[in-house]
Chains A and B, each alone.
Chain A
């Protein structure tokens, strides 16, 4: 038995504003040479726990020991800590940030140059040495943040949600880097909303409302749903309706879409529902699949939301229309010499979900902004609900609902005032306006927060409010820019339930995301890389393409994403 590097014993920590008990009697150990995962819904207390370990907060009760001393007096030179926002100086260059941290942590001068070179090499940032940190992409910032935290080979490394807003390629690289550190004997605490990452940890602590629900190897938790996970091959056309019915059943605790199929988690002892139970006349192909950590996580927290979206029930039917709801034709945007997006073309039919995927800084946000009228294209044209963005900007805007990457409603206005404002701006008046506000308040359970400042709500509620504001005027087209960034799996499921329901009413959705499991919900996906549209197709067809190219068997969408990007790099090198 190795001695713990850090230990929490019966820790209680409360905050005054808003009045919450962030941690309520938590005890855990962090061992050397292991990846320790910390998961839980938003507001579960993950950040508080990490800050306690970093000695930045005092516990109200209990003890926090780090490296054999109380956390607030521990040897900080042996501690690596990467806060959620990376803690980088944006107006300093990569090398200046690294040197600062090396000096602060007292890295011996003799080792300095070699160690910095090693870290730059390790993080693949050597090329960007003189670039200001503020001008790095999200993935690169995150790697630089990590390099700063571990500049003097710490004994304990604390990482607070390092993967938020970062693309799969960068996340995978980061994981590999940290795993290598852990195998060299240091202790790592990795807090995350990505459950596939948690699954790969040696030990996982599941926090919920300040209490530990599970501590141990992730497989222990995964085993609780063993034998209850199935895959239904539904066919692309019917999958959303099928999922809705499946989730409405009591014997299904959780379900998601994976390309053309469904993945269901059943209640204990339940049998997989048959076609008839799901309202289908042709038999469904049902296959047991190995359980995943995420299945168990959702199950442990009481299962996902029901399948019917209350929002969709009231939503108007968007009339049938042969014209595409969203069309991009040769969209190109240049900033000076730099082409941020080049010749992007696609069209999305009514009632479809279209996903824009790609690494940070590849050009998907630029494309997205051109389509919702925030940027004027240098070349090409875009149409939304039949309105040209150049000539009929106001009409195009009236027909879209928009949800921004980070929370961008008025944080210092109350929920009610935000709803009033957005309904008014979108031209709702009188009775219709009151009814719309009442409806979304009810559906998104915002009632108890109506007079709270929007900025003070938990993240999940902010997300609900943002969606509510985007859909009150019942637009035919929705633009969602990383709508679930940083949000926990339960809220994400609820969110997608609504999206699926709206799509059933004929709403068309354009979405960008870094969550590959969300990309699975899309009807079609465009992969944007280095300003070019390198692949377009259904999730399954992209997986097939990737399987052919990389000889992977049954690749996940994430594998496909990476394989397609690598193929594009190879093609580029061959051409050069």
Chain B
């Protein structure tokens, strides 16, 4: 029994590790993905071009403009001289926003009257526009404060826990650990059974004394090992190269990762046992992986989803593991909270693995 299982595991490992190219594939693309995706998938808004349509030309509009130019978030400040030019600049996406000073702007301020700055934003990129409007609000507030406006009675002090400078990379990196593991784990598993079926080796396994649980376990081992390998790579690279803190317990991360990988293997195996061909397995994997990632909280917070979809998202293993990964990297998440997000992974693994074992058997009837 152990001999058979061992032979099966060795064979499965060889199937993915034998090819020298395959060995490189396990290291290079995940690293490149981590770097490229880490740097590219940012929801921050920097280097924005904005326009200034100054119909006032007074001291205060110039002051305001200089403060805009001094902001690190803006790249180019483009002067605009007519309403038509403003329309064209926005339409053609040359600028994301235009700050408009009305004719009496400086006069109003000097006279102590309420002054207004018009801000026109390109709603096609509503997310970026919103953030840019936030930057400009802050500048206005600063100016306003210096003018002696505001009450001065109360104030607030803001602290960002876990990520004091709100560095977006601190969020993406632990998130990518989840995303890339998902793609890798599902991809490796979904192909295996469909591939054997297409090549005819599946019959060969079925006539051998191997039992269904032995075949399943044999197929589970490589994705789990590869997942651990790449996760270890990330646990080293992310703090060392990207400077993201790893504050929590690494053993807890690995424990949760184990259950996450098992859940992925279960889902992948299910896809694999339904698919007739490798191509269908690939597409099935794709149709599972894309929603899993997009609904994990990586692309946008789960909190923002409609309520019913948040309930559906409970069935998504990536959602739970993302909480753990972010939690352990940034928040030093205590064991209780890690386990609270890990048992759903175990449940998903048990359900999907049992279902695929049943499908496996049914395929023989």
Tell me if chains A and B make direct contact, with any CB pair below 8 A: yes
Known: A410-B15, A413-B14. A426 touches B199 (CB 8 A): no
Is the Cβ of A409 less than 8 Å from the Cβ of B18?
no
Residue A284 lies at the interface, judged by CB distance under 8 Å to chain B: no
Is the Cβ of A374 less than 8 Å from the Cβ of B18?
no
Interface-facing stretch out of A161-169, A400-408, A505-513: A400-408
Is the Cβ of B15 less than 8 Å from the Cβ of A394?
no
> Which range contains the number of A residues in contact with the other chain?
20 to 34
Q: Which residues of B contact A421 (CB under 8 A)?
A: 7-8, 10-11
Interface of A is mostly: loop
Q: Which residues of A contact B3 (CB under 8 A)?
A: 424, 427-429
Q: Which residues of B contact A429 (CB under 8 A)?
A: 3
Nearest CB to that of B19 among chain A residues? A412
- Min CB distance A478 to B, Å, is 11
Interface of B is mostly: helix
> Which range contains the number of B residues in contact with the other chain?
20 to 34
**Pick the contact of A402 from B14, B199, B204, B365 — CB < 8 Å?**
B204
Residue B20 lies at the interface, judged by CB distance under 8 Å to chain A: no
Q: Which residues of A contact B14 (CB under 8 A)?
A: 413, 417
Known: A425-B208, A479-B207. A408 touches B11 (CB 8 A): no
Residue A373 lies at the interface, judged by CB distance under 8 Å to chain B: yes
Is the Cβ of B10 less than 8 Å from the Cβ of A420?
yes
Known: A414-B18, A424-B3, A427-B3. A394 touches B209 (CB 8 A): yes
Q: Which residues of B contact A414 (CB under 8 A)?
A: 18
Bound-state CA distance A520–B324 (Å) is 68
Is the Cβ of A409 less than 8 Å from the Cβ of B201?
yes
Bound-state CA distance A556–B3 (Å) is 49
Bound-state CA distance A373–B11 (Å) is 23
Is the Cβ of A412 less than 8 Å from the Cβ of B18?
yes
Q: Which residues of A contact B7 (CB under 8 A)?
A: 420-425
Residue A537 lies at the interface, judged by CB distance under 8 Å to chain B: no
Bound-state CA distance A413–B195 (Å) is 14
Is the Cβ of B18 less than 8 Å from the Cβ of A426?
no
Residue B153 lies at the interface, judged by CB distance under 8 Å to chain A: no
Most chain A beta-carbon neighbours within 10 Å: one of B19, B208, B210: B208
Bound-state CA distance A407–B201 (Å) is 9
**Pick the contact of B208 from A375, A397, A407, A412 — CB < 8 Å?**
A397
Residue B6 lies at the interface, judged by CB distance under 8 Å to chain A: yes
Residue A411 lies at the interface, judged by CB distance under 8 Å to chain B: yes
Bound-state CA distance A375–B206 (Å) is 10
Nearest CB to that of A372 among chain B residues? B207
Q: Which residues of A contact B210 (CB under 8 A)?
A: 425
Residue B211 lies at the interface, judged by CB distance under 8 Å to chain A: yes
Is the Cβ of A426 less than 8 Å from the Cβ of B204?
no
Residue A345 lies at the interface, judged by CB distance under 8 Å to chain B: no
Nearest CB to that of A453 among chain B residues? B18
Nearest CB to that of B1 among chain A residues? A427
Bound-state CA distance A410–B204 (Å) is 10
**Pick the contact of A376 from B6, B207, B209, B365 — CB < 8 Å?**
B365
- Min CB distance A85 to B, Å, is 15
- Min CB distance B317 to A, Å, is 30
Is the Cβ of A424 less than 8 Å from the Cβ of B4?
yes
Q: Which residues of B contact A47 (CB under 8 A)?
A: none
> Of residues 171 to 214 in B, which have CB atoms within 8 Å of A's CB atoms?
199-201, 203-211
Most chain B beta-carbon neighbours within 10 Å: one of A375, A422, A424: A424
Residue B28 lies at the interface, judged by CB distance under 8 Å to chain A: no
**Pick the contact of A374 from B4, B6, B203, B211 — CB < 8 Å?**
B203
Q: Which residues of A contact B365 (CB under 8 A)?
A: 375-376
Is the Cβ of B19 less than 8 Å from the Cβ of A398?
no
Bound-state CA distance A427–B7 (Å) is 9
Bound-state CA distance A569–B269 (Å) is 47
Bound-state CA distance A397–B205 (Å) is 10
> Of residues 1 to 50 in B, which have CB atoms within 8 Å of A's CB atoms?
3-4, 6-8, 10-11, 14-15, 18-19
Is the Cβ of B6 less than 8 Å from the Cβ of A408?
no
Is the Cβ of A408 less than 8 Å from the Cβ of B15?
no
Q: Which residues of B contact A (CB under 8 A)?
A: 3-4, 6-8, 10-11, 14-15, 18-19, 199-201, 203-211, 364-365
Q: Which residues of A contact B (CB under 8 A)?
A: 372-376, 394, 397-398, 400, 402, 404-414, 417, 420-429, 479
Given pairs A397-B209, A405-B200, A406-B200, 16 additional interface contacts (CB within 8 A): A374-B203, A397-B207, A400-B207, A402-B208, A407-B200, A408-B200, A409-B204, A410-B199, A413-B18, A414-B18, A421-B8, A423-B7, A424-B4, A426-B208, A427-B4, A428-B3
